Every structure is written in C-alpha cells, then in structure tokens.
C-alpha cells in the first residue's frame, strides 16, 4: 500500500536503511531491487540464472490468452527477427507510410477546426495516436467503415488496457466484469478475415502472419491474440507519452518557443512553408536532427516512466556485486527500478522539474551523465535493459516526434484548466504512468 502511494519515497527510505540491494515482499512476491546503476549489468552477467522468459510467457497467457506451444521459444525467436522492420533503415519506409496517414488524417479532420475546439487532452491523444498507429502498422480502413471501425476498436482496446494491471496481478479474469468477452472480441477483430478488410499492412505484420500460420495453423485464434498483443504494445505507452509531452510543453512557454524555433528553422531549410494547405514531408534524418524535440520527449520519459527490468530467479545462487554478495532464491524476482536513477539529484539537477533542454548541450544531444564522478552507461532506461529492451522503441519515439511537430506547426494549442495533473501509480513496474485526471485544452488550425 505504501509502495503504491509513493513508490519513489518508499524505495528511497529502504535504500537509506539497507543500501543499494535489498529484498521486499510486495503483493506476495519477494523482489530483490538493484538500485546502483553501476550494478545494472548484473542482470546480463547472470542472464542464465535470471530469466525474462517466464515473465513474458505469463503476460502472453494471462493478459492476451496466447497458447504456449512446445516450440514457443523457436516461435519467439522468429517473431523477434521481424522487429528488424521497425528498426534501422526500415524505419525510413515506415515513416513514409506514417506521413501519408498523418497528412490524410489531419487534412480530412483536424485542419477543418478554424475556430477553437475544446476537448480533453488524454482523449485527444488516444484518438490521434491510436488511428495513426493502427493505420501505419495494420493498414488503411475503407472510408465507409473507417470511423466506426477505428472508434470501436480503439474504445474496446482502451477498456481492455484499463484492466491490464489487474490481469497481470493474478486476479481471476471472472472477477473483472466483461474483460473476457472484450478480449475475445478484440482477438476476433485481429484475425485474418477481419484484417483482410484493411489495405496496406506493414511488412512486420505480413511477416508475423506468415510465421504465426506456420506454428498455429491458418484459422487459429492464437494468431489474432498475437496481433492483438502487438497492437496493444504499440499504443499502451505511446498514448500516455503523447499526453505528458503535450502537457509539459503547453505548461512551459519556454519549451514551446524553443520547439517552434527549431521546427521553423528545419521547415524553412527544406523549403516547406506553413500555409493554409497542409502537407509535410520529412526524412528520418531530418526528424532526428530536431535535438530539442528529442530532448523534450526524453525528459518526458524520465519523469513518467516506471518500466522496470524484472527477472525470475531460476535457481538458488549467490549474486556477487562490487558492494557484496546477495543470496537469491529460486522463484523470487530481481528488479531494476528506473525512477531511482531518473530522479537522482546527483545525476539530474532538480530532478522533480521538467527541463526541456536537459538532454541538450551546445545544440547537440547530451549523453554524458555522471554519478560519484563516474560516467553512467545507464542514465535513462524507459524501455528496459539489455536483450529484452522494447523492440518498438525507435518507432514509438519517431511517432511522438512527428505528431508533436505537426501539432505545434499547424495548430494553436492552449491548456484552459488551471490544475496540476499528477502520475497515477496503477502501472508500477510496467511502462509510462497514466495521468491521475484528464485536463481540458483547446486547439484551432493556424492560417
């Protein structure tokens, strides 16, 4: 209970009392925390005895109703192989595709807003992030069905996402109202027959479909469950990141001004003018050159991410660290708790403040941060650590950058409620924390 009320304060108190490695009984599970950032590599050093697979399988079964096959490890390896299509040079093609959908969505819907339109910010972010993510990954819905299909799928996905922490916490699904039927509906919606109505799916979806058919068979519901899990993973954290990035930028005029200057400079240098018509075209290199925009997103992740790297202890053993030995028991867990480093005043000055330029230095990306006079390898870890890092992290950051850029370029944006929004700690250990309330803002197209 104390951990959920004030997770950082709780962990800090124990750290002062017991040092950088200690074990806590939380929710019936013994979790050993490693808080010294110079010891994070212990997870990799002991990777054969500290397993991530059990946790990922638990999520697959309990949350997404995926059947674990005998050769599930081979399937996982093949599925991981196709993440190359949302990384590296492949992102150029994904960005081209995303730009088309962004241009179409903004031109057909939002740019018709010539007078102030007032709405809830989180609701607004849910709408644009979901539609752009779905159309980029799974393809374009026919115009006649688009609004109903996208809206229904989004609303059902968000209702399901709301129950995600409970599904993961071993509460029987029967006690969670209509979650089972909601999940069945979402799985059926992601089966091949339904996805065939959508045109232009990305390469990652096509390759995943081929692999899943090979392992499960053409009509197996597990294929829909895998697609459903991919879609959930693509939006579950991107939506709250988009919300917090907008919230912080609109709350800090100096951030807004710096972003406008940087974006205007890029658009002018590429010969793109802001006018009454809407079309924007950027390469990935140009998007990556926006150092201030990236700094804003990284600072947002620093303040709002509670993703922990968690491992299951496969056997009794002694974990040897620079600060001493620690006995671990089979069946317990080991965790790294990123907020401890993200909010360390020795690493980040005034860590409770949003500083848009924290990850900039002399107009370049800043990657040097120090603790105890030593340079840190791990100073910002919102996407996990090592081999289990989120494979979609590059796509997620690219999407948030693009959407922020478009909103700031083509719209006037204002928060109109004078209230402070805080983190809601219902997703501790898993991803970006949601806001504890929504907030009214207004927007209109610039002319």
Token pair in block for residue 173: 């699904």
Query: What letters, b where the CB count within 10 A reaches 16 and e where it falls short, cover 311-338?
Result: bbbbeebebebeeeebebeeebbbbbbb
Please check whether residue 68 is in contact with residue 57, taking contact to mean a CB–CB distance below 8 angstroms.
yes
Radius of gyration over alpha carbons of the chain, in Å?
22
Token pair in block for residue 177: 């109202």
Q: Select from 122, 417, 154 the least CA-distant residue to 243.
A: 122
Supply the range of the domain harboring residue 282: 2-445
Nearest-5° angle of CA 107, CA 111, CA 114? Answer: 155
Please check whether residue 208 is in contact with residue 137, taking contact to mean a CB–CB distance below 8 angstroms.
no
Distances (CA, A) of 373 to 14, 158, 218, 365, 368: 24, 44, 57, 20, 11
Nearest-5° angle of CA 199, CA 204, CA 208? Answer: 100
Distances (CA, A) of 85 to 97, 207, 214, 328: 13, 9, 20, 38
Q: How many domains does the chain have?
A: 1
pLDDT tens, residue by residue, 275-334: 556 578 899 999 999 999 999 999 999 999 998 899 999 999 999 888 788 899 999 999
Residue 278: the pLDDT is: 59
Query: What letters, b where the CB count within 10 A reaches 16 and e where it falls short, cover 290-302?
Result: bbbbbbbbbbbbb
pLDDT tens, residue by residue, 18-74: 999 999 999 889 999 999 999 999 988 898 999 998 889 989 999 999 999 889 889
How many C-beta neighbours within 10 Å does residue 261 have? 11
Residue 102: the pLDDT is: 92
Query: Is 237 part of any known ligand binding site?
Result: yes
pLDDT tens, residue by residue, 360-397: 999 999 999 999 999 999 999 999 888 788 999 999 99
* Predicted model pTM: 0.95
Please check whether residue 323 is in contact with residue 19, taking contact to mean a CB–CB distance below 8 angstroms.
yes
Query: Is 76 part of any known ligand binding site?
Result: no
Residue with tokens 């799985």: 187
Query: What letters, b where the CB count within 10 A reaches 16 and e where it falls short, cover 365-391?
Result: eeeebeeeeeebebbbbbbbbeebebb
Average pLDDT over residues 188-206: 92
CATH number at residue 173: 1.10.630.10
Alpha-helix runs per DSSP H in 60-89:
72-81
pLDDT tens, residue by residue, 229-278: 999 999 999 999 999 999 999 999 999 999 999 999 998 888 886 655 65
Residue 277: the pLDDT is: 60
């Amino acid at each position: 209970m104390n951990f959920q009320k004030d997770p950082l304060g709780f962990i800090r108190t124990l750290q002062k009392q017991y040092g950088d490695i200690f074990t806590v009984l939380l929710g019936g599970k013994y979790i050993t925390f490693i808080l010294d950032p110079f010891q994070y590599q212990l997870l990799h050093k002991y990777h054969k005895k500290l397993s991530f697979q059990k946790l990922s399988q638990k999520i697959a079964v309990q949350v997404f109703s995926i059947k674990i096959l005998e050769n599930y490890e081979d399937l996982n390896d093949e599925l991981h192989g196709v993440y190359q299509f949302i990384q590296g040079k492949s992102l150029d093609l994904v960005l081209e595709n995303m730009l088309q959908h962004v241009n179409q969505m903004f031109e057909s819907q939002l740019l018709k807003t010539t007078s102030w339109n007032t709405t809830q910010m989180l609701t607004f972010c849910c709408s644009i992030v979901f539609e752009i993510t779905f159309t980029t990954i799974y393809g374009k819905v026919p115009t006649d069905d688009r609004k109903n299909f996208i809206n229904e799928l989004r609303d059902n996905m968000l209702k399901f996402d709301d129950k995600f922490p409970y599904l993961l916490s071993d509460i029987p699904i029967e006690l969670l109202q209509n979650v089972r039927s909601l999940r069945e509906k979402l799985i059926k919606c992601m089966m091949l027959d339904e996805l065939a109505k959508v045109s232009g799916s990305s390469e990652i979806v096509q390759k995943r479909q081929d692999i899943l058919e090979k392992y499960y068979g053409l009509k197996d519901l597990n294929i829909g469950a895998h697609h459903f899990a991919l879609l959930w993973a693509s939006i579950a954290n991107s939506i709250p990141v988009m919300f917090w990035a907008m919230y912080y930028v609109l709350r800090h005029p100096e951030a807004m001004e710096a972003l406008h200057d940087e974006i205007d400079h890029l658009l002018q240098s590429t010969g793109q003018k802001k006018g009454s018509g809407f079309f924007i075209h950027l390469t990935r290199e140009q998007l990556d050159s926006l150092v201030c925009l990236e700094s804003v997103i990284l600072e947002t992740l620093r303040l709002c991410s509670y993703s922990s790297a968690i491992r299951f202890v496969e056997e009794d053993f002694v974990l040897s660290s620079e600060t001493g030995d620690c006995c671990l028991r089979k069946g317990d867990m080991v965790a790294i708790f990123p907020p401890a480093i993200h909010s360390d005043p020795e690493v980040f000055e005034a860590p409770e403040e949003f500083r848009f330029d924290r990850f900039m230095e002399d107009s370049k990306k800043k990657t040097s941060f120090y603790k105890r006079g030593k340079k840190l390898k791990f100073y910002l870890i919102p996407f996990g650590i090592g081999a289990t890092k989120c494979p979609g992290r590059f796509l997620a950051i690219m999407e948030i950058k693009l959407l922020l850029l478009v909103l700031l370029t083509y719209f006037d944006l204002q928060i109109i409620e004078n209230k402070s929004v805080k983190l809601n700690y219902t997703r501790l250990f898993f991803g970006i924390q949601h806001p504890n309330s929504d907030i009214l803002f207004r927007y209109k197209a610039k002319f």
